[in-house]
Amino acid sequence: MFVRPKFDASSADLQRSERAIVCRAERLLNDASAEVKAAHPGIQLESMLGEGDPRDVLCNRASEDFVDFIIVGSQGKTALTKAMRGSVSQHLLHHAPCPVLIYPPSRAKVLTNDFKREVNEMATKSHPNLVRLVGYCLDFSPVTERMEQIVIYEFMANGDLEQWIGPSAKEPLTIRQRLDILIGMARGLEYLHEFGVVHRDIKPANVLLDDKMKAKLADFGLVRHGEGTSVAATRVMGTPGYVDPAYYKSQKATPMADVHSFGVVMLTVLTARKAICNLESDQVNLKTWVTPLVASSNVAAFKDPDLEAPDTMVLRMARLAISCTAMPTATRPSMSRVLAELMVIKDEFLGLETNRMAERIDRELDASTPQDFDGELARIASIKSYSGM
């Protein structure tokens, strides 16, 4: 059921909603606008949401546990949209924006396997580098005669990694930021693999960043390694350029499929190019293009010009990335090994003691109330002085 929201969509609200990151939507609720207008003729959706795609909808889910939320700026299947206001138990979210994952509607009055798998897996998983499952919403629409399925995750203030790399990036990421993001991804994948769980769709758009630029994996096409011949296990998921060719051919998901995709993401982070990129008017596979350049140590030819980092460091990371995509798959490193190598690279090139001091302060800030401002400035200054920054 769709009803009028309990707040006014003022210009300030819309500005806040534009800053609110959000959700990955696999389907628009195309009938929402008509249903809202039919129930509340006075609502002018176009004026509330502004100009843009006419499919943009004002969407409200009403039940005992779910309250109002807005979805704006939808572009279609797998498009990023923006959501504002809490949509699950206000005492949990305190009116904070949160991302919403909308599954394709089920034609039957039952849950789809994708939805059940994601909820069941993520409800039992907790890790700093996985987005937190806040709740989910189920509703059978009498208009479409379909089951609407929505998964709601924690709010991630800095969007996804795709928004931070390439020519349209918000601003260039430092080498430390890029390395920390990759380390966070590796930790999240290592955790999933310990449970025998494969993500299956690792790519920059599925790496969300919180207000501290900490990376968290999202949009899970989860499957347990060894599920045999079940539909969930055999249906190939992934994105062209990132998906493991061995997985695509065999249709058998293993942790090595995630390792391959992670390696391609590493290359996108180092080159600021997409997995399928344009070079001299031709579309080429990033891995295919980079591999000979890495083999010849021609760092200048593939390195992101905005990346300020030693060529030796970039080359070492690129070689690690290429090893993640190796064939046969048995020659690829595990995520634990990849994580260990990234930590060694960080320690060697960015300073072991400085890293430890920064991580200790981060842990203290996460676990306690904020320190006084002057004290924090002094601590930051001491770190910069120690590291020669």
Query: How many domains does the structure of the chain reveal?
Result: 3
- Structure-block tokens of residue 146: 């379909």
164-221 tens-digit pLDDT: 998 888 889 999 999 999 999 999 999 999 988 899 899 998 999 998 999 999 876 6
Same-domain status, 120 and 175 = no
| pLDDT-based confidence at residue 265 (cuts at 50, 70, 90) | very high
Do 181 and 52 lie in one domain? The reply is no
For the chain, give the number of residues: 389
Greatest CA separation found in the chain? 67
91 in the same domain as 232: no
Residues 55 and 101 in one domain: yes
Amino acid letter, 319: R
376: number of Cβ within 10 Å: 13
Q: What is the DSSP letter of 81?
A: E
- Yes or no: say if 267 and 287 are a contact pair by the CB < 8 Å rule: yes
Residue 106 sits in the same domain as residue 213: no
25 and 125, same domain (yes or no) = yes
Residue 359 has a pLDDT of: 74
Q: What is the structure's pLDDT at 222?
A: 58
Other beta carbons within 10 angstroms of residue 55's beta carbon come to: 13
| 132: pLDDT strictly greater than 70 | yes
Residue found under tokens 């046969």: 328
Q: What is the C-alpha separation between 103 and 232, in angstroms, rounded? A: 15
Q: What is the pLDDT of residue 309?
A: 93
In whole angstroms, give the CA distance from residue 237 to residue 260.
14
Question: Does residue 306 carry a catalytic annotation?
Answer: no
More confident residue, 123 or 169: 169
Note whether 35 and 123 are same-domain residues.
yes
pLDDT at 149: 66
- Of 121, 153, 185, which residue constitutes the final position of a domain? 153
What does the pLDDT look like over 11-50, one tens digit per residue?
A: 343 333 333 323 322 333 334 344 444 544 543 333 222 3
Is the same domain home to 209 and 326? Answer: yes
More confident residue, 55 or 157: 157
The mean pLDDT value for 296-313 works out to: 95
Query: What is the SS3 assignment for 84?
Result: strand
Give the integer Cα–Cα distance in Å for 233 and 52.
Answer: 39
**pTM beyond cutoff 0.85:** no
pLDDT of residue 377: 62
Closest to 316 measured CA to CA, from 167, 179, 166 = 179
Mean pLDDT of 137-161: 72
Query: Which residue, 153, 172, 198, sits at the end of a domain?
Result: 153
* Same domain, yes or no: 85 and 173: no
Residues with Cβ within 8 Å of 370's Cβ and at least 6 positions away in sequence, in order, are 376
Catalytic residue among 56, 160, 180, 201: 201
Residue 130 has pLDDT above 50, yes or no: yes
Q: Is the pLDDT of residue 256 over 90?
A: yes
Query: Are residue 83 and residue 215 in the same domain, yes or no?
Result: no
- Comparing C-alpha atoms, which of 74, 94, 89, 76 is closest to residue 22? 74
User: Is a pLDDT exceeding 70 seen at residue 276?
Assistant: yes
**Those residues with Cβ within 8 angstroms of residue 312's Cβ, 6 or more apart along the chain or in another chain:** none
Q: Are residues 328 and 358 in the same domain?
A: no
Task: Residue 274: give its domain's CATH number.
Answer: 1.10.510.10
Give the position of tokens 């910069």: 384
Kindly state the average pLDDT of the residues 262-278.
Answer: 95
The residue segments making up the domain with residue 90 are 11-153
Dihedral sign (CA 224, 226, 232, 237): positive
Closest Cα to residue 360, out of 368, 208, 98, 193?
Answer: 368
Confidence at residue 30, expressed as pLDDT on a 0 to 100 scale: 35
Q: Return the minimum-mean-pLDDT range out of 6-15, 232-241, 297-306.
A: 6-15
**What average pLDDT does this structure show over 349-368?**
71
Question: What is the residue-averaged pLDDT of the chain?
Answer: 70
Q: Terminus-to-terminus CA distance in the chain, angstroms?
A: 56
Confidence label for 350 from pLDDT (cuts 50, 70 and 90):
confident
Question: Considering only 33-42, 59-68, 290-299, 300-309, which range has the smallest mean pLDDT?
Answer: 59-68
Residue with the larger pLDDT of the pair 344 and 32? 344
Could you tell me the CA-to-CA distances from 164 to 101, 132, 135, 272, 339 in Å, in that order? 21, 22, 28, 9, 22
One-letter amino acid at 378 equals: A
**Is 81 a domain residue?**
yes
Same domain for 181 and 118, yes or no, is no
